Chains A and B, each alone.
Chain A
Amino acid sequence: MNNRHYGFTIELLPFTNSIKTHGKVINSFGSKEGYSSKNFLWDTGATNSAINENIARKLELSRVGNIEIHTAGGKIVCNTYCVDIILPNGVRFNQIPISGVQLTEGTDVLIGMDIIKAGSFLFSQDRQTGKFFFEFSIPPIHNFMHRSQVSTKIKQS
């Protein structure tokens, strides 16, 4: 059994009110080049991961289904696509369904609970410096507060 954990720690910008990281989304059935972005928003309030429709078009994603989603403006039916997602820690999610929607400005990909629940997720503030940190590790770590188990640290630009 592979006991290795893949994790990262990101220092978030001061006065942050959202968790954004970089990441890459790739068409599972197309060009492996993909789309890299610093605007991957992690949202524990979202049940599903989603991609902005304009990026879905750029990547020429093929529709593989539909999903009903409840939004602030009511219920919508949107397309689902099949993508590979690469997170900052290098962990790759292959062939996962993602919903195509018009996300709010400044968000390219939304990482929802379907991905978040695959790992350990920690948002924290250092009491001495006031700095905010976001940590994520896959697979989930027993007692995640022992951060020494997390393998790499990344400083976000």
Chain B
Amino acid sequence: MTKEAILNRNYTFFKKKLPELLSEESNKNKFALICNQEIIGIYHTFEQAINVAKEEKNFELETFIIQKIEDQKHFISRVLY
């Protein structure tokens, strides 16, 4: 499986889990570290999640994702597509 496919699967897993994660008030606006379609941990900051992935777990780059647990919409108008 390519790295892209692994990351896509992790993202699909996160999208499915998001409603459940959001239902827990204490998770909101925190960052989920996901690897092999498993939630490794939930952290206060993006930097903390990155450090756990890289330093503690020794995950290889492009095998894990970090996603913010939020229901906020994001807007960027200066995009060409």
Q: Which residues of A contact B (CB under 8 A)?
A: 28-29, 41, 43, 45-48, 50, 62-73, 76, 80, 82, 94-97, 99, 101-104, 107, 110, 112
A-contacting 9-mer, from B21-29, B36-44, B67-75? B67-75
Contact A45–B50 (Cβ < 8 Å): no
Instruction: State whether A64 and B50 are in contact (beta carbons under 8 Å apart), knowing that A69-B79, A97-B66 are contacts in the complex.
Output: yes
CB proximity of B29 to chain A, nearest CB, Å? 12
Q: Which one, A41, A70, A80, A82, contacts B78 given CB within 8 A?
A: A41
Q: Is the interface of B mostly helix, strand, loop or mixed?
A: mixed
B: contact size bracket: 20 to 34
Whether B7 lies near A70 (C-beta < 8 A) is: no
A145 to B40: give the CA distance in the assembly, Å.
Answer: 45
Residue of B61, B64, B66, B80 near A102 (CB, 8 A) is B80
Majority secondary structure of chain A interface residues (helix, strand, loop or mixed): strand
Asked whether B61 lies within 8 Å of A47 as measured between CB atoms, the reply is no
